[in-house]
Amino acid sequence: MSAACGCESPQSSENKEIERPWWRDTSILIPAASGVFVLTGLITTWTTSESQVGETVASVMFWVGLLLGAYTFAPEALKSLFIRGKVGIALLMTVSAGGAVILGHVEEAAALAFLYSIAEALEDKAMERARSGLQALLKHVPETATVVSSDSAVTVPARKVKVGDVLRVRPGERVATDGTVISGCSSLDTSAITGESIPVDVAPGDDVSAGSINTTGVLEITATADGTDNSLITLVGLVERAQQNRGERARLADRIARPLVPGVIVLALLVGVLGSVLGDPETWITRALVVLVGASPCALAIAVPVTVVSAIGAASRFGVIIKSGATFEQLGSLRRIAVDKTGTLTRNKPTVTTVATVAGVTREQVLAWSASLESHSTHPIATAITAAAPKAPAATEVNEEPGHGITGQLDGHELQVGNPRWITPGSLASQVASMEAAGQTCVTVARDRTTVGAIGVRDELRPEAAEAVSALKMQGIEVVMLTGDNHRAANTLAEIAGITDVRAELRPEDKAAEIAASVRQRPTGMIGDGINDAPALVSATVGIAMGSTGSDAAIESADVAFTGHDLRLIPQALHHARRGRAIMNQNIVLSLVIITVLLPLAITGTLGLAAVVFVHELAEVVVIANGLRAARTQRTAIPSQLTPGASGDCAEVDKPSPRVANWQADRQPRP
């Protein structure tokens, strides 16, 4: 008997990592054996109706079937009544079966015990199956890891890896815990973790997640999390907690079932007592027992939990971690999505987009001169310029002036790189203005105090952003951009993405206020990076953190976490949640209809005990099967042109980090 129906099962209390096959699972074998004996008894009755020996054999078959079926729920039901003082659905079934036996209807009692026990066993297996995907995630963490120290390599259990250990990961091996690459270039298969089907390139400085598979070169990684406390284990814990919180609809089902059980007992007593006074006692007591069975709300009690567990487990498999059943239901109700710009719609990795030069100077020269200075800076714009000219020689006598730019010497010439207000664009003024109008951040390059070029840098929109926004609009969901960036840059990127509602130059508290106002109008989701957007994430109907693997801050502030950074997960997750809500509603309505229809039929004697048992338990099986449909989903494929290929060349690596290194506290402030 499952906890959902008011009685705990020994099976449900075990934390199995490996699901046993049904032919070795006693929770399935015992009800199945009960069914075999009941069926044998029925066949014997039909074929030897006039034989005394046949009647005896059939009676024995029914008794064995009854005892086997009742064994799965009756002891726990009585224990709950006398020790914990709880009246559950299993008690109704126990009383019904016992009453049927007293009245001489052993056949009906055996059928009741079998159908109820097999329905409960199927429910337990459904829950176990839905949870098995979570434990399967942990299998992506290897049992051992190679730790490098003092030029020697030692194999240790993965659980003993500590922060700061240097791990060597060879081709074909899995990463034991979260870390940062310190040497080597390779491609990682993260499909089992993030849901992204194309391997991503990594190079020194890139973050990697536990469970990723190294596909090409040898990597050395510095562990940033212990082997027992990495992002993958955190995700599994999140989903397990989510399954325990079944949401508002689950609580609604519980609220209906809680008074219904004692109400059904009172109704059955009234039917039995009043009917016995006014008519044949045996007839009315039998009808009272039928009422007990027909009004049992077990289908209602399991209608939502099975759906929620199945749906949350399925979402985790394509990279969406939902923290509670309540969140899952709210996710399906969203009608407006607010999206942060930097790091969510954009890569959060500025790149050089435009280079303007004066006559006699080439694009390559301007990039090389500026990179020779910027290689000494850690500013995001400097990183973008250095990446555009990685082989530029380093300048000497470098001096950085905060808020203005940087100067230095190269081959006897003075170089300057800075903002257009510090280094006058001169003849390039119109081109600089055009770059800024297009949402680019510009720097001017001067050589020997003469302006020779201008470079436009922009945090580019993620290539799938427009497709994701379009998919959301097709679902009837409004999309709003919230950003701390200036209106010009925000509007430029919003136009490319297909977003018409833009709120720019917002501080974190302004974003929270915008979300709070929107929530008062309609259910609103907020998608952000989990740090600057934390107040808005908390204020939203559902807060969603993008690419939050390994970030405690993002996980704590958001209700939903995407382990990858493909924006097309957003409409996919919303569609999945809406479908789950529809299945929940179907199950609740079906459960209530069954109770409503069976009660008058049972009271009037239209249906006997066997018929009511059959209809009621068949409906329960249908509810379980319908709830399991929520586990079916299709993962969105990521076209290869949207993801860099596995070149193996460190200089060509261009990918968003699979983790949120850009969420760390020591990071430079940004819009």
* Amino acid, res. 40: T
> CA–CA separation, 413 vs 399, rounded Å?
14
Which candidate, 207, 239, 249, 217, places its Cα nearest to that of 663? 207
Q: How far is CA 54 from CA 45, 64, 68, 208, in A?
A: 7, 15, 21, 70
> CA–CA separation, 156 vs 93, rounded Å?
53
* Amino acid, res. 588: I
Question: Which SS3 state, helix, strand or coil, does residue 616 take?
Answer: helix
Asked if residues 136 and 130 have their Cβ atoms less than 8 Å apart, the reply is: no
Q: Is 280 a catalytic residue?
A: no
Question: Which SS3 state, helix, strand or coil, does residue 531 take?
Answer: coil
> CA–CA separation, 23 vs 198, rounded Å?
38
DSSP string, 357-391: E-TT--HHHHHHHHHHHHTT--SHHHHHHHHHSTT
Which tokens hold the place of 149? 């120290």
Query: Any residues with CB less than 8 A from the CB of 226 and at least 6 apart, and which?
Result: 161, 162, 163, 177
Phi, psi of 503 (to 5 degrees): -120, 110
Asked if residues 517 and 373 have their Cβ atoms less than 8 Å apart, the reply is: no
Catalytic residue (one of 124, 165, 178, 340): 340
* Amino acid, res. 314: A
Q: How far is CA 288 from CA 8, 275, 326, 425, 606, in A?
A: 26, 9, 38, 93, 13
Which candidate, 556, 551, 552, places its Cα nearest to that of 543? 556
Q: How far is CA 138 from CA 15, 18, 133, 233, 240, in A?
A: 13, 11, 9, 7, 12
Which tokens hold the place of 1? 């008997």
Which candidate, 7, 168, 158, places its Cα nearest to that of 74? 7
| Active-site amino acid positions | 340
